[in-house]
Chain A
Amino acid sequence: MASKVIHAIYNDDDLLLQAVKQIREARYHIGEIYTPMPVHGLDKAMGLAPTRLAITSFMYGVVGLIVATAMMDFIMIEDWPQDIGGKPSFSYIENMPAFVPIMFELTVFFAAHLMVITFYMRSKLWPFKKAENPDVRTTDDMFLMEVDVANHNVDELTKFLYNTGAAEIKLIDNK
């Protein structure tokens, strides 16, 4: 069975936020919203779950710290404990101040880069990815909301969306 969605286009973000609230109150289901720029408070209005990206970043940072510590402990203390300019290489803690800059940088490096890669993977972004853009104007000045028709009456839904201030309404057949 082919599912149908309605594309409602708005030309103002305040109108869009209002519409999102009304549509959610009326218990229609919003699929996606395409906007040219971040709309403050849109995720809250849509009821999206908060991101856990910061938590992953913290864990990556801990990994980076462990990598740095293990690496330098092995190289400088365990494997070849040379006397380099009188620095004490008998144990890790004795020579630790010299390792701190590297420990810090690797923590930041791991936290930043792995988090960015996680972001790309979770949002499915890569160089030759085909753009998923239902309407080119949404990257410039239009806001597009995709509402699932499901088993609602199309005319009623159209009318409802029209009343929320949509500038354009299109019925799309997903085959």
Chain B
Amino acid sequence: MYTLSSKLKLTAIIFMIVGAIGIVIGFLQAPSNLDDVREMMAAEEHHGETALEKEGEDDNFAYAEHSLLLDDEAGRNAESKEDAAAEQGHDTEHLEHKFHQLQNKPWAAVYVAAFFFFMISLGVLAFYAVQYASQAGWSPVLFRVMEAITAYIVPGGIIMFVLLVLSSMHLNHLFVWMDPEVVATDEIIRNKTAYLNIPFFLIRAAIFLAGWFIFRHFLVRNSRRLDQATDNYYFKKNFKLAAGFLVFFIVTESIMSWDWIMSLDPHWFSTLFGWYVFSSMFVSGITVIALVTIYLKSRDHLPFVNNSHIHDLAKFMFGISIFWTYLWFSQFMLIWYSNIPEEVVYFISRIENYSLPFFGMVVLNFVFPLLVLMNSDYKRVNWFVVMTGVIILVGHYLDVFTMVMPSTVGESWFIGIPEISAVLFFGGLFTFVVFNALTKAPLLAKRNPYIKESEHFHY
């Protein structure tokens, strides 16, 4: 049996406390009314050109062009008066826009971090089910590690649901389509209300989460019961359950990605989005399995895990990283190539305002694992796997970040106190839950029919 070391527990708790304080600071820093925003922007103006000025220039340019076309004195005069009046209206409109973005900032930071850690445990659950359904001979020694990581799915899922409920209660503006005023003036969103309406949205989320919780509960329970069993009844049961889960998962995961992420941009859609989010959660999940396994092994808790197991996990990290890149590029290139305005705005807003995280994550998630994990010998070296694993996790955090942030905070993004604190908080919670779950069962599954093969696995 594994016992949670007090040091690890303390670290996790410190992370949670520091993170919670930072999250609160983030909410306090967010402007509470338009005057705050005006002050903030005035303070910013000293540092250089603001977005407001830039937009003003654009207006002037548009006006000049317009008047050239008109070329009649009376019209021009009338226009310039109108323009002056419009500019004031425009000013408050712009302030309001900025106000919403800044108000969304702490919410979006929490949302990104909550989803990131939740998707890791969901990805691990999918990987676990794949191992059962494919009757893999190498992985049963890692089952208890995977089961422990999926333990986070329950608290993480509840937090996600609470965040969605809070959004539905109009405490934030993460989802524009939840705002009845927006829907009233937006025909595109209005046409989607049959799908994008709050009750149905929450019911869907509840069904998905309940389904994942239930499958996770029975998969783990059967795996524990198998230890005490005298036959393979629970193994066969888990095999069927895992196959059923994978069918349920791929449907619900796809819809979940439309609901929780794609609907942040209700004007935009992409058909491979579900797969894209899946690949991201799958590779981060596998990476976390590798990191936890290497940590436990370094503390001598997993004597039956050899470097061939690490090699296999690293191969998965390598392969699924490339799979992620394939989907990322397929989505990007198809939209870039055809350049249809209603689709391409998604990438224009990301490339213009998020060019470093947007392209940086491709380097972190593709180039780095490609070059480091290609060599067969390196996949067996623990510190290589840990280093690449950390890079992959940072990369996939940025991935979620660039999926969520542009549509919620737009150009007002920054990785500052709220963002880092949210990661610390959920990272601490994740560590605490996972390592606490590890103490609940022996680290070696006993009566799994493939456990002997797995213990002697050699590649």
Contact = CB atoms under 8 A, between A and B. Distances in A.
B329 interface: yes
Interface string B331-348: 011001101000000000
A100 B329 contact: yes
Contacts of A100: 329, 333
Contacts of A58: 374
B336 A97 contact: yes
Nearest to A87: B337
A97 B374 contact: no
Interface string B297-314: 000000000000000000
B337 A98 contact: yes
Contact of B332 (A54, A86, A97): A97
Contacts of B336: 97
A115 to B, nearest CB: 14
A109 B374 CA distance: 18
A100 B333 CA distance: 9
Interface string A100-141: 100000000000000000000000000000000000000000
A54 B376 CA distance: 10
Nearest to B335: A97
Interface string A50-81: 00001000100000000000000000000000
A97 B339 contact: no
Interface string B316-360: 000000000000010011001101000000000000000000000
DSSP majority for the A interface? helix
Nearest to B336: A97
Nearest to B377: A50
A100 B376 CA distance: 26
Contacts of A86: 339
A100 B336 CA distance: 13
A104 B335 CA distance: 19
Contacts of A97: 329, 332-333, 336-337
Nearest to A101: B333
Nearest to B374: A58
Interface in B368-397: 374, 376
A54 B377 CA distance: 12
Nearest to B376: A54
B53 to A, nearest CB: 28
Nearest to B334: A97
A35 B339 CA distance: 58
Interface in A82-104: 86, 97-98, 100
A62 B433 CA distance: 45
Nearest to A98: B337
Contacts of A54: 376
Nearest to B333: A97
Interface in A16-70: 54, 58
Contacts of B337: 97-98
A86 B336 CA distance: 12
Nearest to B326: A104
A40 B107 CA distance: 57
Nearest to A54: B376
Contacts of B374: 58
Contacts of B332: 97
B331 to A, nearest CB: 11
Contacts of B339: 86
Nearest to B332: A97
Contacts of B333: 97-98, 100
A97 B339 CA distance: 12
A2 B71 CA distance: 106
A95 B336 CA distance: 10
Contacts of B329: 97, 100
Nearest to A97: B333
A69 B9 CA distance: 52
Nearest to B339: A86
A10 B243 CA distance: 46
B137 to A, nearest CB: 16
A93 to B, nearest CB: 11
A86 B337 CA distance: 10
Nearest to A55: B375
From A58, A97, A100, residue with most partner B Cβ within 10 Å: A97
A129 B332 CA distance: 50
What 3 A-B pairs come out closest when comparing CB atoms? A97-B333, A97-B336, A98-B337
10 contacts: A54-B376, A58-B374, A97-B329, A97-B332, A97-B336, A97-B337, A98-B333, A98-B337, A100-B329, A100-B333
Given A58-B374, A86-B339, A100-B329, 5 more contacts: A97-B329, A97-B336, A97-B337, A98-B333, A100-B333
Interface of B: 329, 332-333, 336-337, 339, 374, 376
